[in-house]
Amino acid sequence: MSARPRDPMLPRSYRIESVESELPGGEVFSWTLRPRGGELEVGQPGQFNMLYQLGIGEVPISISALGEDGTLIHTIRDVGGVTRNMAALSAGEEIGVRGPFGTAWPVAAAEGHDVLLVAGGIGLAPLRPVIHHVLANRERYRRIFLLYGTRQPADILFRKELERWRGRFDIDVAVTVDRADASWRGDVGVVTRLIERGGFDPRNSIAMVCGPEVMMRFAVMSLERRGVPARQIYLSMERNMQCAVGYCGHCQYGGHFICKDGPVFPYDRLEPLFDVREL
């Protein structure tokens, strides 16, 4: 007799192995999680889990890495009541996890192409597993570009990894900030400026974009001006996901449910909606 399918609405218990502050002040932090009983349910780059704190609520958070020792890593921004309570949790405490849910980044379809990753702010976290994957399978891809923009130098995520990636000879990494301080020696300006000068082959590139919607809108415009076809641009949308399985309808975007049909979409599916004001 086959095993009963797991109930997608039932959280599994995970233990917080460690908590790491990613930005000064702890506004953004990463949890390393280990399942209590059973094996880790491995998600694909771009998918998300619903993280649940008993008596508080749950939030959708993209997978930001998979540990080599059978752990799961989520990077979380303290922006509301649930995440504020989560920010107070310590290693050793338990949370509930539902998932993984949603569509993934097209890492298989990108094989044999230039890979262009465009991230804004905390949007680097959902793209981080893609970077890990393409670097671990470097022979399958052509040139790899990571273009990352933040508001200010203090907002840069994963600094140690960025420095390590920049030290390699097989990935081009460029970081820009909107506002520089006296210590900053890098680029200043919006991330779309990096797209305009990038050395990728537009007709043979797969672009993956994640960040605030306004940033993604202008990134898409820059990519299309460079000649990247709409069907080769992928966006990660995050809009008010609550149930993760398409029941509640809170994340409806035109004819799509972000939690079920996304969060990763090829841009040509979203193009008619992107120009609709207030949608």
How far, CA to CA in Å, does 74 sit from each of 16, 34, 43, 111? 11, 11, 12, 26
Average pLDDT of the chain to the nearest whole number: 92
- Cα–chain-centroid distance for residue 232? 18
Task: Compute the distance between CA of residue 2 and CA of residue 144 in angstroms, rounded to an integer.
Answer: 43
Cβ atoms < 10 Å from Cβ of 130: 24
Q: How much is the average pLDDT of 155-162?
A: 96
Lowest-pLDDT choice from 65-79, 100-114, 214-228: 65-79
Domains by residue range for the chain, with CATH: 12-101 (2.40.30.10), 114-274 (3.40.50.80)
Identify the pLDDT of residue 159: 94
Q: State yes or no: pLDDT of 6 exceeds 80.
A: no
Structure tokens at 59: 């939030």
Q: Is 157 left (phi over 0), alpha (psi -120 to 50) or beta?
A: beta
Residue 277 vs residue 99, higher pLDDT: 99
Q: State yes or no: pLDDT of 4 exceeds 80.
A: no
Q: How much is the average pLDDT of 16-43?
A: 90
Q: State yes or no: pLDDT of 205 exceeds 70.
A: yes
Given a contact cutoff of 8 angstroms between Cβ atoms, the answer to whether 218 and 147 are in contact is no
Structure tokens at 40: 């880790």
Q: How much is the average pLDDT of 89-109?
A: 96
Lowest-pLDDT choice from 38-42, 72-76, 120-124, 213-217: 38-42
Given a contact cutoff of 8 angstroms between Cβ atoms, the answer to whether 204 and 142 are in contact is yes
Residue of 12, 24, 91 whose CA lies nearest to 58: 12
DSSP per-residue letters across 115-153:
EEEEEEGGGHHHHHHHHHHHHHTGGG-S-EEEEEEESSG
Identify the pLDDT of residue 40: 79
Given a contact cutoff of 8 angstroms between Cβ atoms, the answer to whether 250 and 241 are in contact is yes
Identify the pLDDT of residue 7: 85
This prediction's pTM:
0.94
Q: How much is the average pLDDT of 36-49?
A: 88
Identify the pLDDT of residue 278: 66
Percent of the chain with pLDDT over 70: 97
Identify the pLDDT of residue 88: 95
SS3 219: helix
Identify the pLDDT of residue 43: 87
SS3 14: strand
Given a contact cutoff of 8 angstroms between Cβ atoms, the answer to whether 167 and 250 are in contact is no
- Per-residue burial over 222-249, b if 16 or more Cβ lie within 10 Å, else e, is bbbebebeeebbbbbbbbebebbebeee
Q: How much is the average pLDDT of 34-62?
A: 91
Non-local CB neighbours of 32 within 8 Å, separated by 6+ positions: 16, 17, 18, 19, 20, 67, 71, 72, 73
Peptide bond into 8 cis (omega under 30): no
Identify the pLDDT of residue 1: 45
Structure tokens at 227: 């000649």
**pLDDT band at 275; cut points 50, 70, 90:** confident
Identify the pLDDT of residue 236: 97
